[in-house]
Each structure stands twice: as structure tokens, then as C-alpha cells.
Structure 1
């Protein structure tokens, strides 16, 4: 039990490297504009609302952190998880000295746990975590480590400004107040999802975008869309990809932003370099999820016999292709330099459309597996009004 004047706990390598990468995939596929400058977030309720409820399953085993918090602070069986969210900090983001209870509407929060998904000095610069008092005074974020502390004036803290890259965390807040139990709200949302189908088709779990202003950076420009960028478009760009739609050829400068935004809700293909992968994805969110899945799995992939070796149609981009790509880029990536500064350009290796095509099948298998797990476990969650991890009940 914690007896320090500034109670805090560090768990090294609590999250596995594989889980860190999986959560990074989810966040970079689904994130929206966050709650402070240059911060992006993915909440569990957002995943459910955008037809990706199955993606909350990788979070569930991490709930065992609650037991660690209860044991360390001597409050066994007293806590509820009040909030769970993936949060990333890009260049320019920081926190000045504050405690997590200094906002009246968050007084219910008793403890915080910050799980680090990537590493200082490797994936990002800056972003060191400092406590105003007590030991340790500075915490260096490393993938898999967890920092736990009381969300009150005993642990006033700050985060240094991010100087490069993107600092990724999974943050959980705990409360003694049952009325703020996150599980009840999430289960209510989940019961509205179509999990009555135990043998879904891929169309059942395709991601659906939220409103356009939730993806526009900086947020203050989302009313006019005259500067900045769509963060989904930008994440594709920094990996070397561009969306393509033949419908873009019909749009001109006379059309409104909503006319262009409608294209992002329709089928899109993907371009890399001078080649077009001639397969349509349901919408921009689906395309981004597929590219991020490929980027997650690419280091493990080889041209494998397990891939369905269907004909892969890749065509050189033509002048008309370029014009359509340019139309979309001008509309959704108005500040290319800012996008590259915020998200940091990364290499995804050479064009390998064979592996990319195989990844489409892997994504469907991954998503279908999670969906089937959710079909099995959801009735138990509903009956208990609690989200819990039961490995033997997942098939």
C-alpha cells in the first residue's frame, strides 16, 4: 500500500510490444482531433459510434491495471474505470504544471494510469513527464511502461513540449464514484450494434467516418476548411499514399467543401508513387485502416503461400489520374508542410502490392475474429453490466 507523500507507481514492460503496436494501429486508423493543441484522441465510445466496436477488445485485458491500482493504493474492489482513451501528442504539444483534478468537471477522478506505447528518443523527441515534487522527478516514456499516480495536488505534473514525432499513450482514469463507471455507458452503446449476426460479411464491420470537422486540423479552421488538413488524408500522405476517386474530375473550384467531403464517404482507390492499386475501399476511413494495418504488419510479412494469389491489378497513373489526385490533395491537404511537421514522414518500404493485396485478406480475418469474439462475450457483459476479460469465453 502506498504511504508516500507523493504516491506513484511505475510498472516497466507491463504492455507487450505486440499490444503496443496493435493499439498504435487502432489509434492511427481512427483518431480524431483531441482536447488540447496538437493532441489527437481515440475513445472507446468513438470506436463504437464509427462501426468499429470490435476494436475495443484489444483494450480489455489492460483492465487488470485496475487491480494493480487498487492493490497499491489500498482500495481493493472500490474502483471503476471512468475513462479509457488512446492519446497522441505531436510536435508543439505540451502540458504546463497541473494536477488532474484542477478542472471542476473532473473532480470524480481519483487515480490515473498512463501506458506508453512508444519510446522517447526513438519514436519522438521531447515529451518527458515531470513531477513537481517527490521521486522520481522525471519519467522517461518507454514503450510498454506504465506510470500510475493520484489525480490530485499530491502529483502536480507537466509534460515537455514534443519536438518531433508523435508520442502515443493509452490513458485510464479511475474513480470511486460508480455513477461515472465507463462500462455502463459503453454497454449501452454496444447493445445498439448489429452483433446478432454471428457470420458477418466484411461490409458489416467497415468503419464509418464521423463528421468532417472531427478530422480537420487545426480545429479552429474546421468551420471554413480554408487552411490546414484532414488528419486521415495527412496520415496517408506521411506514409507515401494518396486517395484516388474518379468522381473528383467532376468537381471544380465552384463546388463547396461539402461537395468534396462527400467524396471521402464514397469508394476510393489508393496511389503510391506512380502506381494505382485498382481496388476500391468503402471510404477514406476504410482506406486509412487498411494502409495502417499494412504498415503495422509489413515488418512481419513475406510473400507467403497463405495469401490468396488473386490477380493484382496495378496500373501506372495517367494524366487524368494525376489531375484527380491533385484536386483531392488541394482540398484536403491544404498545408502539406504542416501535415508533415505534425505527423512526421515515415517510410513504409518499397512498393509491394503483392503483400498489400494479401494484407487485405489478413485485415478481414483479423476483423472477423474480433467480431466473433464480441458476439460471444457481449451477452455476458450485458448481463453483468460490466466489461471484463474472460479469455476462456473468447473463441
Structure 2
């Protein structure tokens, strides 16, 4: 029985491992710098703004389940609206001291919170244990699939230990009784202005479009001059052993030149490189390459390593001059590789970077990513008319999603 002075509920393995992995894929593909130091976030509005509206589909059913559980447990059926949904990751150095979630005047509309743990303490990260100042449970050790619900007020003042290794990932929702803060209303309006009515699923119409480049530079206070830190999109590619190669000939800016052209390289077509081998497949921008790569690591166990080498038309050996250009790009976009590695990778998993790539499996993953993207796009096209009619985002079982 949970004491009424500090209303909260812990749900063990409420979210399936498969959904946790899917949301992790989305975050590692799309995140930007977050709202506090050493934190990264992916909001639903950001997905829509970067031409990835289809990626909100995996959130729909879990948002519903969490809202129903909050209403049931706290006795406020049919009273709540979802005020915020976001993926939030905490990396080395991130922490919060004792506070309640409504202790800032502009957040007074938040009445309840749901924190869903998408990876595990001791496996994916160290530190990051959640503590309540009073009541039971006094502490929560994050484990994949577990969920914590609590009132976002001074009855549940809490803190989070500093992250000392790895990346701690959560799906976080806040709920409100104030309809003017209903997230669905804003998201539907945003989708309506960006989603084409066409059912055309040509993959080139569904490719991600980067947000403002300074949203991807870490630490944020270096985004104006980029003298230190890294572009987090590039960092997530580099730390799993890949490089990028921009395929269009141009005069590369120097490592000390931080004009707009410095970032524009990432918005142009590029290739992925593994050691001395370049994948012929061209990606339209850095987010496209990152999304396919993260999809591969999400789904790689589904493709058995090929006994044959990749088709010679798929991979080519890099020339010396190309290798020099690759190293130049790395210097431009990741000023401190060690910082990027320690930010995103648990120390026990760094040997993963030495694994070789199976290009045939990677090609299969690329095809599967296109099918996955098209399927989600079809789902959002079929669901959106009902969402717009009822001004609410919800699952529609008749759609077979």
C-alpha cells in the first residue's frame, strides 16, 4: 500500500523490452542538446519539425496506457491531459538536487509525472539513482521497462544522483488538468501544417531534415565558436567505429574556420566509412545516415552475418586523399573524441567499437529501415483524420497498427 502523504506508484516491467529498444533507436537518431547540462532530449514536436512525424507512432499506445494508469491510481478519470512527452538521456555529470517538478512558476500546470526507464543501472550507466526526500519507496534503481508515477508537487520532492558513466535514458511524461496545456492540440496543429495529404511513400519524401545546427553542438555554450566539444550527430556515428565522407567536391573549411559552411557540410550528401572501406550508398544528410546506422544497431541481431563478402559494387577501398579528407572532417566535427566517447558509451562496452561490420547485413538493414519508415508513415496518414476530428492522439485498432 502506498502512503497517501506521498502518493506514488512503481510499476515493474510496464514497458516491453522491444518498445524500450525502439524508443532508444529514435532518441539516438534524433536527439538534440537538452534543458540542463549533460542532458539530451527528443520531443514529439521536434520529430515533427524535422520531417519525422511518423516517428511519433511508437509513442501513441504507451502514452495512452500511462495516462489511463495515472487517472486510475490518482482518482482523476477523464480529467487529465498530457502536457509533455519526451525522451531524455542523462550523461556523465548530469544530476538534479532536491526539487519538485512544479517548483518553477512556468511549470505550475504540471500535476503528475511518469518516468519510464528505457535502460538499466549497472549495465548501461552508473549513478542516476532516483531518490524521494520522504516516503516509500525512498529510492528507485532504474531498470529497463520500469515506470514511476508520482504527483508533481512538494509531496514528492526528489533528486537524481549524478551520472558517472554511460547514458541513462527515460521516456518522461507530465500530465495536467488544464486543457489549455494539452500537448495533443499543439501536436495535431503542427502535424496538420507539415504532413502531406498524399499517400506517396517515396522514401525521399520521408527523409529527416536537420534542425538548426547549433541544437546539435555539445556543450551548448560552445556552439557559437565550436572551439571545443562535438556535434552529437557525428559523435554518435564516430563512437561506433564509423567515419563520414562528404561526396561533393568543395573547398573544405579549415579546422579553425567556424562559418556557416562548416555546418552545411552535414546537410549535404555523404557516405559512411568503416576503416578503409566506403559504402557506396549515399545518404542525403547526416541525420539520414545516423538514423539508418542506429536502425542497424537496433535490429542487427535479426540479420545473420553473411558468409560471403559484400557485393563489390556496394563497398570501395578508400584512397589516400579520401582518407585525409575523412580525418579532416573528424577534426571539424568532433574536437574531443574522448569526450564524445565517455559521454555516450558505458566503459564496459567500449570493446564493442572493435567489432567488424558485415556490409551485407548493413545493406539489409537499410532496406528494412525504408520499409519501417514507410509503414509508420502510412499509419500516421490513416490515423491523422481521426486525431484531427477529435483533437486527440490515440490508437485506432481498426488500422491494424
| Bucket of the pairwise TM-score, normalised by the shorter protein | over 0.9
Q: Return the alpha-carbon distance in structure 2 between the equivalents of residues 193 and 380 of structure 1.
A: 17
The range that moved more, 33-42 or 237-246, is: 237-246
User: Any idea what SS the aligned residue of 1:383 has?
Assistant: helix
Alignment deviations for residues 218-244 of structure 1 (CA, whole Å, 9 cap, x no partner):
000011111110000001111111111
Matches within 5 A, 1:68-217: 68-217=69-218
* Inter-partner Cα distance in structure 2 for 1:376 and 1:145: 31
Q: Aligned partners of 1:160 and 1:17: how far apart in 2?
A: 24
Task: Check the 8 A contact 2:51/2:209 in 1, yes or no.
Answer: yes
- Mapping 1:369-388, distance limit 5 Å: 369-388=375-394
Corresponding position of 2:265: 263
Q: After superposition, what is the alpha-carbon deviation per residue over 1:123-157, rounded to whole angstroms, capped at 9, x for unaligned?
A: 11000000000011110100000000000000000
For the residue of structure 1 that corresponds to 2:280, the secondary structure is strand
Distance 1:104 1:20 in 2: 32
2:27 is the counterpart of 1:27:
yes
Indicate if the aligned counterparts of 1:249 and 1:323 stay in contact, CA closer than 8 A: no
Q: Do 1:247 and 1:263's aligned partners in 2 also have CA atoms closer than 8 Å?
A: no
Per-residue deviation, residues 175-194 of structure 1 (Å, max 9, x unmatched): 00000000000000111123
Deviation at 1:391?
Answer: 2.4
Instruction: Give the whole-Å Cα distance in 2 for the aligned partners of 1:205 and 1:34.
Output: 25
For residue 338 of structure 1, what is the aligned residue in structure 2? 339
The reply on whether 1:350 has 2:352 as its aligned counterpart is no
SS in 2 for 1:281: coil
Q: Distance in 1 between matches of 2:244 and 2:44?
A: 27
2:395 is matched with which residue: 361, 381, 389?
389
- Go from structure 1 to structure 2 and tell me whether the alpha carbon gap of 1:165 and 1:248 turns closer, same or farther (over 3 Å shift): farther
- Unaligned 5+ segments in structure 2 are none
Q: Take 2:28 and 2:336, find their aligned partners in 1: how far apart are those partners?
A: 20
Question: Measured at CA, do residues 248 and 327 of structure 1 come closer, stay the same or move farther in structure 2, by a change above 3 Å?
Answer: farther
TM-score, L = length of structure 2: 0.94
Verify the 8 A CA contact 1:57 1:374 in the aligned structure 2: yes
| Deviation sequence 1:233-283 (CA, Å, 0-9, x none) | 001111111111144762142854311211100100001122111111000
TM-score, normalised to structure 1, is 0.96
**Does structure 2 conserve the Cα–Cα contact (< 8 Å) formed by 1:277 and 1:315?**
yes
Which residue number in structure 2 is paired with residue 290 of structure 1? 292
Tell me, what secondary structure is at the counterpart of 2:122? coil
Structure 1 residue runs of 4+, over 4 Å off? Answer: 309-312
Report how many residues are paired. Answer: 392
Q: Compared with structure 1, are the counterparts of its residues 312 and 116 closer, same or farther at alpha carbon in structure 2 (3 Å cutoff)?
A: farther
Query: Is the CA contact (8 Å cut-off) linking 2:130 and 2:140 kept in structure 1?
Result: yes
Matches within 5 A, 1:28-47: 28-47=28-47
Unpaired stretches in structure 1, ≥5 consecutive residues: none
> Does the 8 Å contact 1:114/1:169 carry over to 2?
yes
Secondary structure of the corresponding residue to residue 6 of structure 1: coil
- Per-residue CA deviations over 1:191-212 (Å, capped at 9, x if unaligned) read 1123312132001110000011
Aligned equivalents of 2:306, 2:113: Cα separation in 1: 43
> What secondary structure is seen at the aligned counterpart in 1 of 2:360?
helix
Q: Which residue of 2 aligns with 1:274?
A: 276
1:360 lines up with 2:366 in the alignment: yes
Judged with a 3 Å threshold, the aligned counterparts in structure 2 of structure 1 residues 194 and 75 are, in CA distance, closer, same or farther, namely closer
Aligned equivalents of 2:376 and 2:313: distance in 1? Answer: 27
1:52 is matched with 52
Equivalent residue number for residue 11 of structure 1: 11
**More deviation in 185-194 or 108-117?**
185-194
Give the CA deviation at 1:38. Answer: 0.2
Shift in alpha-carbon separation, 1:338–1:134, aligned structure 2, 3 A: same
